[in-house]
Structure 1
Amino acid sequence: MAEAAPAPVAAPVAAPAKAAAKKPVNPVKLAAAEKRVGELEAEVAELDRQLADPKHMADAGRLAGLGRDREEAARRLEQAEAAWLEMMEG
């Protein structure tokens, strides 16, 4: 009877690398960043509401201005969210 081949031995698994030490988040700065994001979300929502308001449909200039304002508010919101995320990730 033929001998069975020895079972393959798995390569040793390296211990997981320790996570890089995260810098503690300043709670005051975090609260300010969260407040700023909330304010900008509200601003974008208000501009969306105004853009959807039928009374502005007849005023192309007003609509264009609201559209520009919304784009600018959305850009500021994106920056504020990125700053908040960076703060959270350390």
Structure 2
Amino acid sequence: MKNIIFVIITTVVVLGFYGLVLGYENNLDEFLVYYDEITIESGDTIWSIASKYSDGRIDINKYCNEIMKINNMKSDKIVSGHRIIVPIYK
């Protein structure tokens, strides 16, 4: 009987923790989005641009992928002087 209760309590705790983790996962659909067109400067990378424009609530890898998707980029290579669109999540 004690083993059954232990298994039930453990299962509830694990599932509850799993639900919390999923609930706090960064979901871009939950934010208002604005777009800004920026000029790439010497030394910029997708990562540095994402770090500059991210507010910390969104996973930086997801944000980099979103920038690349919006700009139809197949590679993370960018050229100084080119312009790209950056999403701003509020």
Q: TM-score, normalised by structure 2?
A: 0.30
Larger Rg: 1
Structure with greater proportional helix content: 1
Report the TM-score, using the length of structure 1 for normalisation. 0.30
Q: Which has the higher strand share?
A: 2
